[in-house]
Amino acid sequence: MAHVHPHPHDHGHHHDHHEHDHHDPDHAHEHGGHRHGHHHHHHHVAPENMGRAFAIGIVLNSLFVAAEVGAGVWTGSLALLADAGHNLSDVLALILAWGAATLAKRAPTARRTYGLRKTTILASLANAVLLMVAVGAIISESIHRLAEPASIQTGVVMLTAGLGVVINTATALLFFRGSHSDLNVRGAFLHMAGDAAVSLAVVIGALVIARTGLTWVDPALGLAIAAFILFATWGLLRESIDLSLDAVPKDIDVAKVRDWLAARPGVVEVHDLHIWALSTTETALTVHLIRPGSAGSEEDGDAFLHQTCEGLSKRFNIGHATVQVERDPTGVCRLAPAEVV
């Protein structure tokens, strides 16, 4: 049973859930001193459509990986093969990220009431794990090659890696626009920018070998590439794990959110505050507010809830907020203790 109250300035819906008979005017909006407000206002900060960037990135990099593997085998360059492995993992990462971004737009169903938004977080996690596997393979082969150095054809290596610099830089620029607002797009941008830097290092390495004949430079570069990938991916892995475990997104200060809610008109206590990521771009919140003076008009209650949810969206980019207002400051809510989830 629910009453729906439209609001002229609200783009979402606000529901008050009650267990009373709808026809009782005196009690229709009051039950045990509790009031439940649900406000749905999805604030998308992700780029409107990164699909074209993903498609171009996947096609270009797939073609380049094929060329790089062929050149790596032909020239015997471990640095080139390591770069190809890195680029291949990035192609898979782009496919994962694109698929997740597409799935995240699916409408909610009766079974999956949040839709498939969480797939963006799972893809980000899979992406980071994939890179860690690539790093392990590169390190293992580089150590083996350092023990038994082999000569390489430097001219072909330089030409192939030079092409990689151009392709990866161009792809990275496609993702730059969206890299500030979406973890998956940022992951794609970091991969491509990293690939460009790695390809440049391979060009320089081949040049050094051509001039000096120091064959150990190639496997040493393989190790350096692995270290770079590890460094660039660690933050992505940690953040993806945090979001998978429903941690508060890193750009949100829980203390500031709590203080802002506590400062709302009539609020004397804030408890059972939870903030988590619905996807790599959307954040949700649930909270209980004790507000003894809220037994007034229905309009006042609705206005308070709408303004609180609107404020959370604008100030903290928390677009999916559910607020429960409790009127009795002496009543003990079973979820009030900090250790209770």
pLDDT at 259: 96
The last residue of a domain, from among 195, 212, 244: 244
Residues 215 and 70 in one domain: yes
Residues 199 and 291 in one domain: no
Residues 215 and 74 in one domain: yes
Residues 240 and 278 in one domain: no
pLDDT at 26: 41
The percent of the chain in helix, strand and coil, each rounded to the nearest 5, is 55, 10, 35
Q: How far apart are CA 171 and CA 50, in angstroms?
A: 12
Residue 313 lies in a domain: yes
pLDDT at 77: 80
Residues 253 and 233 in one domain: no
Residue 341 lies in a domain: no
Residues 296 and 238 in one domain: no
Residues 256 and 233 in one domain: no
The sign of the torsion formed by the CA atoms of 158, 160, 164, 166 equals positive
The token pair that represents 116 in the structure block = 């498939």
Domain that residue 15 falls in: 2-22+29-40+249-326
Q: pLDDT tens, 53-85?
A: 788 888 988 999 999 889 888 887 878 887 887
Residues 88 and 208 in one domain: yes
The token pair that represents 91 in the structure block = 């192609």
The last residue of a domain, from among 214, 244, 274: 244
Q: Do residues 125 and 118 touch, judged by C-beta distance below 8 A?
A: no
* Alpha helices in 7-118, H assignment, sequence order: 51-75, 78-103
Residues 146 and 237 in one domain: yes
Structural domains in the chain (count): 2
Q: Answer whether residue 313 shows pLDDT above 90.
A: yes
pLDDT at 47: 44
Residue 116 lies in a domain: yes
3-state secondary structure 142-201: HHHHHHCCCCCCHHHHHHHHHHHHHHHHHHHHHHHCCCCCCHHHHHHHHHHHHHHHHHHH
Q: pLDDT tens, 239-248?
A: 889 888 988 9
Enumerate helices (H) and strands (E) in the chain, giving the number of each: 8, 6
pLDDT at 296: 55
- Mean pLDDT (the chain, rounded): 78
Q: Is the pTM of this model over 0.85?
A: no
Strand partners, 269: 290
Residue 332 lies in a domain: no
Q: Where residue 7 sits, what CATH number does that domain have?
A: 3.30.70.1350
Q: How far apart are CA 214 and CA 83, in angstroms?
A: 20
Q: Where residue 67 sits, what CATH number does that domain have?
A: 1.20.1510.10
From residue 59, alpha-carbon distances to 49, 53, 126, 193 in Å are: 17, 10, 21, 17
Q: How far apart are CA 197 and CA 200, in angstroms?
A: 5
pLDDT at 76: 79
pLDDT at 109: 87
Residue in the structure block whose two tokens are 């909610």? 108
Residue 333 lies in a domain: no
Residues 129 and 269 in one domain: no
Residues 282 and 227 in one domain: no
Residues 162 and 296 in one domain: no
Q: Do residues 272 and 287 touch, judged by C-beta distance below 8 A?
A: yes
Q: How far apart are CA 301 and CA 121, in angstroms?
A: 35
